[in-house]
């Protein structure tokens, strides 16, 4: 996410909307994971990531693939995603990679919560930050975008499935949202499509272990 206006200026607003629609649609991954066996989800995501990696490699090796890639996707790409001088995977690949990591490492309900933070809090804050985030507190970070991230994050934390549906669990969710919002505002060096769900899941996982020591995930 860039919840300010600087980096997003490299992408037309129409492209930004299309880009975030893809991010919103990524919610199908954690929602599907609630009903589909873990290994099946990982297999599907692994095949998808493999295909996307092949496309990424091909666009750097083949001029024909590169120009075809630009023809259909440039409107929604960041500049670094089509810079042939430096290999960097696109945001969608980071989304799939983070989903695989979270599903492999964290318990199901925690992974679902972290991935939905990315799908909804990150996407909504980026769009509204682009529209209304004129005042920045750091490069590519606006007060509006960060505020939206926090509010939508709270909704995600409150509405996602819980283990016990106790008051304490909701408090843990609120703490997770606060920490994730701060981490996102720091503009960490790793792509935020990876850091947002991983920070969310890690914080929530540690909080559960500390406050529900007898829990068996």
Using CA atoms, how far residue 153 sits from 2, 35, 51, 131, 159, in Å, is: 16, 23, 31, 19, 10
Total domain count for the chain?
1
| Backbone phi, psi, residue 214, to 5° | -90, 5
Whole domain around residue 95: which residue ranges? Answer: 7-211
pTM given for the model: 0.86
Task: Report yes or no on 80 lying in a domain.
Answer: yes
Residue 113 lies in a domain: yes
Backbone torsions φ then ψ of 142, nearest 5 degrees: -110, 155
DSSP lists the bridge partners of residue 138 as 141
Cβ-contact 181, 153 below 8 angstroms: yes
Inside any domain, residue 2:
no
Q: What string of pLDDT tens digits covers the 217 residues of the chain?
A: 455 443 444 566 666 787 788 889 999 999 999 999 999 999 999 999 999 888 888 877 787 877 776 776 666 666 655 566 666 777 889 999 999 999 999 999 999 999 999 999 999 998 898 888 888 887 778 899 999 999 999 999 999 999 999 999 999 999 999 999 999 998 778 889 999 999 999 999 999 999 999 898 8
In a domain, 217, yes or no: no
Residue 93 lies in a domain: yes
- Asked, for residue 1, whether it belongs to a domain, the answer is no
Q: 72-76: list long-range contacts, CB under 8 Å, 24+ apart.
A: 74/15, 75/11, 75/12, 75/14, 75/15, 75/18, 76/11, 76/15, 76/16, 76/18, 76/19, 76/22
Model pLDDT, residue 8 = 45
Whether residue 139 is contained in a domain is answered as yes
- Examine residue 164 and state whether it is found in any structural domain, yes or no: yes
């Amino acid at each position: 996410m860039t919840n300010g206006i600087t980096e997003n200026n490299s992408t037309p607003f129409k492209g930004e909307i299309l880009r975030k629609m893809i991010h919103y649609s990524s919610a199908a991954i954690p929602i599907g994971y609630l009903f589909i066996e873990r290994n099946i989800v990982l297999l599907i995501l692994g095949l998808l990531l493999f295909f996307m990696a092949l496309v990424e490699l091909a666009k750097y090796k083949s001029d024909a693939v590169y120009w075809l890639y630009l023809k259909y996707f440039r409107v929604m790409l960041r500049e670094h995603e089509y810079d042939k001088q430096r290999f960097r995977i696109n945001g969608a690949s980071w989304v799939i990679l983070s989903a695989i990591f979270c599903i492999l490492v964290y318990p199901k309900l925690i992974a679902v919560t972290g991935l939905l933070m990315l799908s909804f809090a990150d996407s909504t804050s980026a769009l509204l930050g682009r529209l209304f985030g004129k005042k920045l507190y750091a490069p590519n970070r606006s007060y509006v975008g960060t505020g939206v991230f926090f509010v939508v994050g709270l909704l995600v934390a409150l509405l996602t499935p819980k283990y016990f549906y106790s008051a304490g669990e909701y408090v843990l969710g609120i703490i997770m949202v606060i920490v994730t919002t701060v981490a996102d505002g720091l503009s960490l060096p790793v792509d935020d499509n990876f850091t947002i769900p991983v920070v969310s899941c890690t914080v929530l996982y540690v909080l559960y272990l500390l406050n529900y020591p007898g829990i068996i995930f």
